[in-house]
Structure 1
Amino acid sequence: MDILTLVGLLAGVVIVLLAMLANASISTFLNLPGLAIVLGGTFAVTLIKFRLPTVASAFRLAAKTVFTDRLPRPSSLILEVGELGRMVRKEGILGLEEHEASDEFLKKAITLCVDGHPPELVEEALLQESQQIAERYDVAERVFRGIGESAPAIGMLGTLIGLVQMLNTLDDPSSIGPAMAIALLTTLYGAFLAQLIALPLAEKLQLKAEDDARNQMLIITSIKSIMRGENPRVMTEFLSSYLPPEHRNGLAPEKEA
């Protein structure tokens, strides 16, 4: 699990709640009409911008990737493909058949190699798969950014509604309070939804997409090298460019092997 994402989300919510409860009760900040305006209006705008299956897929992808640290580190991938290179030099390409890959993309690459496809076809299939994955990330990110853009605007719309209601009932002092609550709390709800949930999740999806794309390019490059029969040590040296200089020391034993 990507514990920092969950900790950050919970910490942000708790800090805001503590600020609310400092000099008031939680009921002071609870206004069901205002909450309905923000949540219902944001959901409606999101459905106008995107199709319902797209929205559902975005939430599934976020739940599967944002809160889990499922991607292997590039250093472990480099060590793994280096081992695959030595295995192919000893046993041939069919020696990969028994290998249990740590990554689904690498597993697909190994399957294509074992099936005997030419290197050009393997590379084309992997690049197409990588592009489709990147597009799914991009759509999910756009959905959450759309929510982040719409929620504050809908909150402002609720604020205007509350102000109009308040101005129309100035002769009735008892109605000023509820109208003012809608006017102020809808802006709060919109900002809360956008700044603490939607936009941070969009940023994390973008980061996960970049990490996934980097790992996929590493795998594609290594598979091409393996199918060309390149020296595993040379291949590992070449792949070390995917790592920051301070993280390359862990590959030293692999290079000397």
Structure 2
Amino acid sequence: MDWASLTGILLALAGVLLGHGLEGGKLASLVQPAAFAIVVVGTFGAVLLQNDAATFRRGLRMLRWVFLPPVSRRQRLAQDIQNWSAYARRDGMLSLEQFMEAHDDRIIKKGLRMVIDGVAPDRVRNILETEVSAYEFAQRQGARIWDSAAGYAPTIGILGAVLGLINVMENLAEPSRLGAGIAVAFVSTIYGVGLANLFFHPVGAKLKAIIAERVTQYDILTDVFHDFASGDYSRVVDERVQSLLSRA
């Protein structure tokens, strides 16, 4: 559990609710199902329209990373690199096949396969850089749905406010119904601006930081596989391992 994320969202909510209470407001006044439906359903509808279904689903699945981030692989990767280097020096490149079969990461498996097959160093680098770029693009597209939601939510909140005011204007002759329409109008704006700045924007930024971390690891691995393909798996590889660990 990422306690920083959980604490952050609780503090943000507490700040809004505390301020509302200090001004004499009631919690019930912020609970407006109609406003929630307009802002949340409308926002995600616009996001889905902007993206294909696969990207939208990927972005929703990535939300769990904010509170349950992927386990850091730096220590494990550093140990793996050292093992690959030791086996390659002692038993040759073919000995790396056992590691390739045991690994579940597609990019790492491809790197080991090319090294074992004796692919030219520059070709290894070019292919892996293309793979990493494709991975980064797909992941960033998923994270981008939260940035998109942050952009749409305030505007849709204003749309909800206008709808609430239309309801007010249609019921001027019935004062008992005016309060509900006005409440939807103002609370829709609160929901739109609040969700955008207290949830959607922070989620998008955190996901992009997690993706950048994983891409950095793949960049270092690309250099390692290039070194292996060049026949250099001693001192230079040790420096790669130190670079990996120094960012842990």
- Within 5 A, what are the aligned runs for 1:82-161? 82-99=82-99, 105-161=107-163
Kindly indicate whether residue 73 of structure 2 is the aligned counterpart of residue 72 of structure 1: yes
Identity percentage over the alignment?
26
Deviations 1:110-149 (CA, angstroms, capped at 9, x unpaired):
2443355444443333222211111112211321111111
Deviations 1:61-119 (CA, angstroms, capped at 9, x unpaired):
3335763233423x664454234223211111122233355966434422443355444
Contact 1:66/1:201 (<8 A) preserved: no
* Alignment partners' CA distance in 1, 2:87 and 2:207: 35
Contact 1:152/1:187 (<8 A) preserved: yes
* Residue of 205, 208, 212 corresponding to 1:206: 208
Q: CA deviation at 1:238?
A: 5.5
Q: CA RMSD in A?
A: 2.9
Kindly indicate whether residue 65 of structure 2 is the aligned counterpart of residue 59 of structure 1: no
Larger mean CA deviation between 115-124 and 224-233 belongs to 115-124
- Paired AA for residue 195 in structure 1: N
Kindly indicate whether residue 37 of structure 2 is the aligned counterpart of residue 36 of structure 1: yes
Deviations 1:199-229 (CA, angstroms, capped at 9, x unpaired):
1111112112211221111000011112222
Kindly indicate whether residue 230 of structure 2 is the aligned counterpart of residue 228 of structure 1: yes
* Alignment partners' CA distance in 1, 2:177 and 2:243: 66
**What SS does the corresponding residue of 1:214 show, helix, strand or coil?**
helix
- Paired AA for residue 166 in structure 2: V
* Alignment partners' CA distance in 2, 1:219 and 1:36: 46
* Alignment partners' CA distance in 2, 1:222 and 1:65: 30
TM-score, with length taken from structure 1: 0.80
Question: Mind listing any 5+ residue stretches in structure 2 that lack a counterpart?
Answer: none
Contact 2:118/2:229 (<8 A) preserved: no
User: Structure 1's 8 and 65: CA in aligned 2 closer, same or farther, altered over 3 A?
Assistant: closer
**What SS does the corresponding residue of 1:69 show, helix, strand or coil?**
coil
**What SS does the corresponding residue of 2:63 show, helix, strand or coil?**
helix
User: Structure 1's 148 and 176: CA in aligned 2 closer, same or farther, altered over 3 A?
Assistant: same
* Paired residues, number: 245
Contact 1:72/1:102 (<8 A) preserved: no
**What SS does the corresponding residue of 2:149 show, helix, strand or coil?**
helix
TM-score, with length taken from structure 2: 0.83
User: Structure 1's 199 and 10: CA in aligned 2 closer, same or farther, altered over 3 A?
Assistant: same
* Alignment partners' CA distance in 2, 1:165 and 1:116: 72
User: Structure 1's 238 and 51: CA in aligned 2 closer, same or farther, altered over 3 A?
Assistant: closer
- Paired AA for residue 5 in structure 1: S
- Paired AA for residue 60 in structure 2: F
- Within 5 A, what are the aligned runs for 1:2-41? 2-20=2-20, 23-41=24-42
**What SS does the corresponding residue of 1:42 show, helix, strand or coil?**
helix
- Paired AA for residue 112 in structure 2: I
Contact 2:21/2:27 (<8 A) preserved: yes
Q: CA deviation at 1:20?
A: 4.7
* Alignment partners' CA distance in 2, 1:4 and 1:80: 30
- Paired AA for residue 68 in structure 1: P
